[in-house]
Structures are given as structure tokens and as C-alpha cells.
């Protein structure tokens, strides 16, 4: 079993060998203790410091320096866009007021599908698209590495 205990946001040397890429959903990237089956069918375990939130592109390392890369796995999401930036800001405000896990970009917002929230957002006049896409929500103002 491979046991990963260290998160790296970048590699010291770009020539380091990466065993494989592990695709995880946004929720799976918040788990600091978890067991997975690797793409090579070898069991692997995450034993990271509590509160670790993995980001798309992070690397995980074992005590013996073996590396894997983390990628955001495409998952069901809704993407909100608007012709008027103020509408997008209004939507972000109301979603934040409800403590919704939210991915924020200059031209869109992305969240996990939720029919009640979709109904609220439609009333603002934003465009809602259901997609399967990588989801990388904000980690929060008080999060630190």
C-alpha cells in the first residue's frame, strides 16, 4: 500500500517521476484520511495533516519520495453566467449568504446542483447550465496550508 503523507503545491525539480495522476472530486479533495484504489489497482492511503484541502495540480508524496499528481475530476455542476457583471455579483452574494460551496471566476460561478438554489438563481435572470466539469471551489477565508 502506498501511504501519502505530504502535499506539495509544486515540484522542486520538473524531472521528478510521477507514478500516476489521481482524479478526485471536490469533496474527495477535502479528505485528509482516506483510502483509494490507484489506477494501477494498488491500494493507496492519504494520511495528510488534518484540514488539508487538495487543489487541482497538487502533488502527494510518500515517505520514500514516491509522487502522484492530483487532478480535479469532472463531476455534475451548474455553471452560472450573466451578461451583466452585477447580476453575477448578486448571485455570488446570495449563494455566499447561504454558505454554498462555490467556485468563483470573473465570468462565471460554479456549484453543485441544487434545485432550490437553481430556482432562486433563475429569478435573478442569470443563465444556468448543467455540466460535467472539474469543480474547484474556494477553500475559505480562514484556510491556510
Tell whether the model's pLDDT for residue 126 goes beyond 80: yes
The reported pLDDT for the residue numbered 143 is: 58
Q: How far is CA 30 from the centre of its chain?
A: 8
Tell whether the model's pLDDT for residue 118 goes beyond 80: yes
The reported pLDDT for the residue numbered 16 is: 78
Instruction: Please give the Cα distance from 61 to 21 (Å, whole number).
Output: 12
Tell me the average pLDDT across 122-130. Answer: 95
Q: Which of 41-45, 68-72, 77-81, 121-125 shows the lowest mean pLDDT across its residues?
A: 41-45
Say whether 74-134 and 2-72 share the same fold.
Answer: no
Percent of the residues in the chain that have a pLDDT greater than 90, as a whole number? 74
Q: Does domain 74-134 have CATH number 3.30.470.20?
A: no
Mean pLDDT estimate for the chain = 91
Please state which CATH number belongs to domain 2-72: 2.60.260.20
Tell whether the model's pLDDT for residue 141 goes beyond 80: no
Spatial contact of 103 and 139, defined as CB atoms under 8 Å apart: no
The reported pLDDT for the residue numbered 76 is: 98
Which band of pLDDT confidence, cut at 50, 70 and 90, is reported for residue 1? Answer: confident
Q: Is the dihedral of CA 91, 95, 100, 106 positive or negative?
A: positive
- Smallest Cα–Cα separation from 114: which of 127, 126, 100, 125? 100
Spatial contact of 110 and 127, defined as CB atoms under 8 Å apart: no
Tell whether the model's pLDDT for residue 109 goes beyond 80: yes
Tell whether the model's pLDDT for residue 136 goes beyond 70: yes
The reported pLDDT for the residue numbered 28 is: 94
Instruction: Please give the Cα distance from 37 to 46 (Å, whole number).
Output: 11
Instruction: Please give the Cα distance from 68 to 22 (Å, whole number).
Output: 7
Domain edges within the chain? 2-72, 74-134
Tell me the average pLDDT across 109-128. Answer: 96
Amino acid at each position: 500500500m502506498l501511504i501519502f503523507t505530504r502535499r506539495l503545491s509544486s515540484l522542486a525539480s520538473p524531472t521528478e517521476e510521477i507514478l500516476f495522476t489521481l482524479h478526485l472530486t471536490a469533496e474527495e479533495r477535502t479528505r485528509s484520511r482516506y483510502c483509494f484504489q490507484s489506477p494501477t489497482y494498488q491500494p493507496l492511503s492519504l494520511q495528510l495533516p488534518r484540514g488539508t484541502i487538495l487543489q487541482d495540480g497538487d502533488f502527494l508524496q510518500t515517505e520514500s519520495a514516491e509522487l502522484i499528481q492530483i487532478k480535479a475530476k469532472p463531476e455534475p455542476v451548474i455553471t452560472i453566467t450573466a451578461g451583466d457583471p452585477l447580476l453575477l455579483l448578486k448571485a455570488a452574494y446570495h449563494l455566499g449568504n447561504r454558505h454554498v460551496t462555490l467556485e468563483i471566476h470573473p465570468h462565471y460561478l460554479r456549484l453543485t446542483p441544487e434545485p432550490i438554489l437553481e430556482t432562486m438563481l433563475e429569478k435573478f435572470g442569470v443563465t444556468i447550465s448543467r455540466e460535467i466539469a472539474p469543480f474547484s471551489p474556494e477553500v475559505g477565508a480562514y484556510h491556510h496550508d
